Amino acid sequence: MGRRVLDQRYQDVLRELDDFQRRDFSFASGRILGSMCALPHPIAREAYIRFLETNLGDPELCPGTKAIEERFVAFLAELLHAPRTATGQIVSGGTEGNITAMWLAKQLTGKKEIVLPKSAHFSFAKIASLMSLKLVEVPLTKEFAMDVSALKKRIQSTTAGVVGVAGSTELGAVDPIPEIGEMCAEEHLFFHVDAAFGGFVIPFLRELGYDVPAFDFQCRGVSTISLDSHKMGYSAIPLGTLMIRESSWLREITVESPYISSERQTGILGTRSGAPVAAAYAVSRYLGHEGYIEVVRSCMDVTRYAQRRITGLGLSLVMEPTMNVLGVRLKRPATVVKRLSEQGWRVNKVERLSCIRIVCMPHITKQIIDEFIPVLKKTCEEVGEL
């Protein structure tokens, strides 16, 4: 085939991709208000492309990228006050972080029962099926946090571990991790903290003086913490990290890997891209601790503004926001979500709590909220919510 034909085909394929992409909602448009993922920081985009060909599943082929991964894990270890014995396992996101944590709990204890709050992410349903684990649900308090006295009643000799949520998917609620951790330490229970969303929010909220419970390794009894760079880490999909209190525990999730450059491989994935790792590291280096504080300060500022504008319409919130997540109480959330989507706005419905979820990610500005409010008002009036 001639050069000209190939050049033409190249352009045709790109045009075809553009046509598909135009059908997508985009973070850049500001019209996605319900997602916990972010428009990646510009430096994440740049780093991602540079490391596109790297494979951290075969680390001796990319010692430089491996070193980036180690530096990034060290950054998170410091952020989460991890002890020197700790390590981190890079994962694709919150789901894989939770799977890996539960895999560790099962291997370390030989038991198959997990006690978790009603607010736990639906990835635990997958975990139960994958690993034949039994899930024991704990009810929530009126603040939407795990009820610790109810938790105590559900602990048995068959319990493999406890899960706490630091930033719930539906409302951004935070479980009382210090109290749960104390109990787990006393009972010698594995305790996983799912901070997929809150991991890059809570440390900075606390520094800004917000009244949010501690959730990291400073809390006695915390075994593992998962946190996602592709959520409030302001980086690109797919990247999360499972931080693990004792690096020796990794033996439980390591196998021999006879035909690649390393003799052993740890965790679920085999081939895995270094691109999102380089992206997340680049964001952490560029923003630094102070930069993340500013990101969280600004997200909370927009959240408070959105709260004022929404309640100003006469709508109410399910709870006072702990972080940059708003649950707006509605009688028929699915109808409102559908109508908003038809007008080009995406928010998420939470049927269980009869609300819609709005997440003020770093790319959401007050101007976007100002554009959204009249649309929300009109929609709610049309469907009889106002």
- Which stretches of the chain bind ligand PLP, using CB under 6 A? 36, 93-95, 98, 121, 123, 165, 167, 169, 194, 196-197, 228
- Starting at the edge strand found earlier in the chain, the sheet holding 87-91 runs 87-91, 240-244, 224-228, 190-194, 159-165, 113-117, 134-138
Shortest reach from residue 226's CB to ligand PLP, in Å: 7
Shortest reach from residue 323's CB to ligand PLP, in Å: 11
Q: Could you write out the three-class secondary structure of 146-176? A: ECHHHHHHHCCCCEEEEEEEECCCCCCCECC
Nearer to ligand PLP, 165 or 300 (CB): 165
Shortest reach from residue 148's CB to ligand PLP, in Å: 19
Shortest reach from residue 194's CB to ligand PLP, in Å: 5
- Measured CA to CA, the distance from residue 333 to residue 263 in angstroms comes to 52
Nearer to ligand PLP, 94 or 181 (CB): 94
Shortest reach from residue 228's CB to ligand PLP, in Å: 5
Shortest reach from residue 283's CB to ligand PLP, in Å: 16
- Measured CA to CA, the distance from residue 145 to residue 142 in angstroms comes to 7
Name the closest residue to ligand PLP (Cβ): 94
> Cβ(202)–Cβ(195) under 8 Å?
yes
DSSP strands (E only) in the chain: 87-91, 113-117, 134-138, 159-165, 190-194, 224-228, 240-244, 254-256, 264-266, 325-329, 348-350, 355-359
- Starting at the edge strand found earlier in the chain, the sheet holding 355-359 runs 325-329, 355-359, 348-350
Nearer to ligand PLP, 165 or 340 (CB): 165
Shortest reach from residue 214's CB to ligand PLP, in Å: 17
Nearer to ligand PLP, 59 or 276 (CB): 276
> Cβ(34)–Cβ(357) under 8 Å?
yes
Shortest reach from residue 151's CB to ligand PLP, in Å: 18
Nearer to ligand PLP, 124 or 249 (CB): 124
Helix axes 366-382, 275-312, angle to 10 degrees: 50
In whole angstroms, how far apart are CA 142 and each of 85, 241, 318? 37, 31, 10
Q: Across the strands, what pairs with 355?
A: 329, 350
Structure tokens that stand for 87 in this block: 């390590």
